[in-house]
Structure 1
Amino acid sequence: MFRATRRLLAAAPSAVKEAASLRTKLSTGITGIAVHPEPLSALANSYQSTLKVLEAIPASAVYRQSAEAITRERLDVVKRVGADKADEASIEQVEQAIGAGIVEELIMQANDELKLAGKMIEFKAWEDLEEAPAPGQWEPFRVTPSTTTADDLHPN
């Protein structure tokens, strides 16, 4: 029983070294998040997939508009730097330009957004409610001066 475990443990460091060998970075510094061997191409692929999925949502939907804008902006950053480059300087440029964490975190965010877009299509969140809300249901969430600007309070 322990012989098999020893063999697996002996093989693990070499597998980690092989995966990280495409990059010079050995650790993300975040427990549970490994260094991605080709982060920029993975990021570009995820962004492109998200944009394709978002096309199924009506263009008038606020979610589509905001998700599409952010995704296009980030994809442009990756393309500008060069998705085919895997050197640390390019990866660092993307991280700084986007400003939302290290590239491995950006990949996780992009994949989460892709999943959310699929869920939004499934739930059809842009459609009207099937039943009207009960009177006063949204009262606690009313717009108040502390959450708005002066322009919001006096529309002309």
Structure 2
Amino acid sequence: MFRATRILLAAAPQASKAAPSSLRTKLSTGITGIAVHPEPLSALVDSYKSTLSVLDMIPASAVYRQSAEAITRERLAAVERLGGDGDEASIEQVEQAIGAGIVEELLMQATDELKLAAKMIEFKSWEELEEAPAPGQWEPFRVTPSTTTADDLHPN
């Protein structure tokens, strides 16, 4: 029993020396279940570039491709512009520029978007429907401009 403990204690300092150097000083994200990523900005760049390459397989006229590509390019540009050395200050600048959570959340969003883009290719959502929709099927969802004014809400 003690022999194994001595071996583990002897290996512990070596393991910490062998760990890759990281510029991250943050110990916790403050969100249960989300660990601090050691190199989040490089992982974000990789994920964004992968997403853009997958989106290239979707026709340019597809609305999903247009919107996902615009968001991904905007976020990639922010990471490349502000990423710097990948230290905490650079990471905070990227988080503020994108404005969609901490960098670990951004990485989760980027990973999810990459998975969704692959699913959209599988589903071929840009193609026409196999069957025409029933007459009036989409009427409840039609957006119409409102004609109500503030004066209509408060009669004299």
Q: TM-score when scaled to structure 2?
A: 0.78
Contact kept in structure 2, 1:20 and 1:36, CA below 8 Å: no
Alpha-carbon distance between aligned partners in 2 of 1:130 and 1:145, rounded to the nearest angstrom:
31
Stretches of structure 2 that go unaligned for 5 or more consecutive residues are: 147-156
Alpha-carbon distance between aligned partners in 1 of 2:92 and 2:24, rounded to the nearest angstrom:
12
Cα distance per residue 1:33-80 (max 9 Å; x no partner):
000000000000000000000000001111111111110111011111
Cα pair distance change 1:20/1:134, threshold 3 Å: farther
Cα distance per residue 1:118-142 (max 9 Å; x no partner):
0110111111100001122112111
Cα distance per residue 1:6-32 (max 9 Å; x no partner):
x8xxx8xx88xx689641000000000
Alpha-carbon distance between aligned partners in 2 of 1:91 and 1:45, rounded to the nearest angstrom:
16
Alpha-carbon distance between aligned partners in 2 of 1:20 and 1:111, rounded to the nearest angstrom:
24
Alpha-carbon distance between aligned partners in 1 of 2:124 and 2:21, rounded to the nearest angstrom:
41
Query: How much does 1:82 deviate?
Result: 3.2
Report what 1:31 is aligned to: 32
Alpha-carbon distance between aligned partners in 1 of 2:110 and 2:121, rounded to the nearest angstrom:
17
Alpha-carbon distance between aligned partners in 1 of 2:114 and 2:53, rounded to the nearest angstrom:
10
**SS of match in other structure, 2:136:** coil
Q: How many residues align?
A: 133
CA RMSD of aligned residues (A): 2.1
Report what 1:73 is aligned to: 74
Q: Which amino acid aligns with 1:136?
A: G
Alpha-carbon distance between aligned partners in 1 of 2:124 and 2:22, rounded to the nearest angstrom:
43
Report what 1:150 is aligned to: none
Alpha-carbon distance between aligned partners in 1 of 2:145 and 2:36, rounded to the nearest angstrom:
46
Listed as ranges, the matches of 1:1-156 within 5 Å are 22-82=23-83, 85-146=85-146
Query: How much does 1:86 deviate?
Result: 2.2
Stretches of structure 1 that go unaligned for 5 or more consecutive residues are: 147-156
Alpha-carbon distance between aligned partners in 1 of 2:73 and 2:53, rounded to the nearest angstrom:
11
Alpha-carbon distance between aligned partners in 1 of 2:142 and 2:109, rounded to the nearest angstrom:
30
Percentage of matched positions with identical amino acids = 81
Cα pair distance change 1:139/1:22, threshold 3 Å: same
Larger Rg: 2
Alpha-carbon distance between aligned partners in 2 of 1:20 and 1:29, rounded to the nearest angstrom:
22
